[in-house]
Structures are given as structure tokens and as C-alpha cells.
Amino acid sequence: MTTPLLEIEDLHARVKEKEIINGFNLTINEGEVHAIMGPNGAGKSTLSNVLTGKPGYEITSGSVRYKGYDLLKLSPEERAHEGIFLCMQYPVEIPGVPTATFLKHAVNAVRKHNQQPELDTMEFLKMLKEEGKKLGIDSEMMKRPLNVGFSGGEKKRLETLQMCILKPRLSILDEADSGLDIDALKVVAEGVNSLRDKERSLLVITHYQRLLNYIVPDFVHVFADGHIVRSGDKKLALELEEKGYAGFVKEN
């Protein structure tokens, strides 16, 4: 039996004094696509932030192993080097940094870690143009400051583009469909699906079932009150769509 790509055991995490995640368990093997669905406030974003190492979260107990190693010891950049990528719900705007410049720094940081030669500007721009084309991103957008004034759709396309050029082993998609119309959604889903293979895994975090029509999961988990309350296959998503989350959330 091979080591799972990601193994979360009895994870408890809090922000300031508030415990958001309690007793969370999940195992993702290579090549699997897992969807986590849950109502607002279930702790979905906290989960993705904890996995990517965002400062401000305290892990009180439990463990997260990635490729068999203790993930929680790694800095955010080390996690990225090891192949973890978070496709953010609200990517931040960074005035003064051209999109292409940022992407080049990111690509070369990962390449350097993998002991690959860094791309020079010409090689990089060529690659960027090819990958961008697939997602309908024109090269003018690359000259603009990162995410500044981008529409919701443009931001999501850019997140997907980064995923496609960084080729992560574990991609976490946090509400990847929010703010997308159906055409943009298809383009983004196509980009994501193009990365699916035997080695790469996906964790799709979403409120709605819609996205899962395009990125079809192997497993669906219902996330409520800080932990998984039920797991199943893709049919579970349809059931949730029909019945809502009411039956899964604790009555207070």
C-alpha cells in the first residue's frame, strides 16, 4: 500500500480563541478527486488556510501528513514547493507588481526547488502565452498589475492558469466557481481537468453542487460544524443539492 498524498487525523484548529475545526479526518490518495461541501461558516476556508500555512491559525491537536511528512512544520512557500496549491476564492490584488513578473517569480521559485534551471524571460513568456491561450487569457492581461481591477472571472482564470503552470500535486480549489458565468466555469473546469492524472489529486471545496458537474469527484464529504459528518460518492452531492444542508447541521 502506498503512502497517501494527504492524511489529516483528528485535526483541531482555532482562530484567536474560537475553535473552527474540531476532529477533522480525511485521507486523499494520489490521483483522487475529493469534494468537500458544506454550509457557510462550516470552516471550509479555515481548512484550506490551515493546509497552506496561512499565519493566524493555531493547530491545537491532530496531525496533517503530506507524502508521509509532517506538513504543519513547513512554511507556506515550502508547501508550495512540495506541490500544494490553493486556488483562492478571493485572490488578493497587488498594485505595482505586473502579473507576468509575479508569475515568473513563482514559476522559477518552484523550478529552483526542483533543481530545474530557471526560465529566462523569453522562455517564460512563450510558455505563459501557450498556457494562457488555453484559458482564454490574452497577453495584455499579463502586463496589468496582479489582480488589480480584474473581474471575478479574470481572477479565477488567472488562479487556474497558475495551477496549470505550477503543476501542483495537490490542488485545493476554494469556491472556484464563485463569480463565474457558465462559459467561464467551463473554461476553468477544463483547465483543472487537464491536470488530472494518476499522480495529481484535487480537493474541491464548494458550497454548490454545480461545479461538480464539470469537475467530477471520486468522493464527496459533507463538512459541518468543523468536521466531516458524512462521506459518499458523487451521488451525495446531488442529494445535498436536493435536500440542503439542514439535516447535517447540529440544531442549537
Partner 1 sequence: MAGLVENISLIGDEIPWLKALRRKGEEAFLKSGVPGAKTEAWKYLKPKELATDDYVFSCGGCSQKVKQEIPFSCYRICFENGRFCPEGSFFPEEIEVLPLIEAILTKSSEIQFWLKQICDLNKFPFAALNQKYLNEGVYIHLPQGFVLDKPLVLDVHTSCEDKNLFSNLHNVVVLDKSSKAEVVEYYHYDGELKSHYFNNVVNQIFVGKGANLKHIKFQNEAFKASHIAFSHVLVDEKGLYDSFCLQRGADLARNESRVILRQQEAECVVNAAYKIDGWAKVDTTTDVEHLAVATKSHQLVKGVIGGQAKGIFQGKIHIAQDCVATEGNQLHKALLLSDEAEVDVKPELEIFADDVKCSHGAASGELDEEQLFYMRSRGIGYEEARQLLISAYFEEVFALLDNQDISNWLKSFL
Footprint on this chain of partner 1 (rule: CB under 8 A): 52-55, 75-77, 79-81, 85-86, 88, 91-92, 94-97, 101-102, 105-106, 109-110, 113, 145, 162, 166
- The CB-of-116 to partner 1 minimum distance in angstroms stands at 13
- The CB-of-161 to partner 1 minimum distance in angstroms stands at 12
Selection from 57, 1, 55, 60 nearest residue 27 by Cα: 1
Which cell numbers in the block locate residue 85? 496549491
Q: Choose between 106 and 216: whose C-beta lies nearer to partner 1.
A: 106
- The CB-of-229 to partner 1 minimum distance in angstroms stands at 28
Q: Choose between 148 and 216: whose C-beta lies nearer to partner 1.
A: 148
Backbone angles phi, psi at 101, to 5 degrees: -60, -45
Q: Choose between 61 and 116: whose C-beta lies nearer to partner 1.
A: 116
Q: Choose between 66 and 85: whose C-beta lies nearer to partner 1.
A: 85
- The CB-of-82 to partner 1 minimum distance in angstroms stands at 9
Cα 216 off chain centre by: 15
Q: Choose between 105 and 133: whose C-beta lies nearer to partner 1.
A: 105
Q: Choose between 54 and 129: whose C-beta lies nearer to partner 1.
A: 54
- The CB-of-170 to partner 1 minimum distance in angstroms stands at 13
Q: Choose between 29 and 101: whose C-beta lies nearer to partner 1.
A: 101
Which cell numbers in the block locate residue 200? 495529481
- The CB-of-221 to partner 1 minimum distance in angstroms stands at 23
Q: What are the CA-CA distances from residue 228 to residues 24, 117, 172 (Å)?
A: 6, 42, 17
Backbone angles phi, psi at 138, to 5 degrees: -85, 160
Instruction: Output the CA torsion sign for 162, 164, 168, 174.
Output: positive
Which cell numbers in the block locate residue 1? 500500500
- The CB-of-158 to partner 1 minimum distance in angstroms stands at 11
d(CA 95, CA 97): 6
Three-state DSSP state, 97: strand
Which cell numbers in the block locate residue 174? 476554494
Q: What are the CA-CA distances from residue 51 to residues 104, 206, 226, 231, 240 (Å)?
A: 24, 16, 14, 20, 25
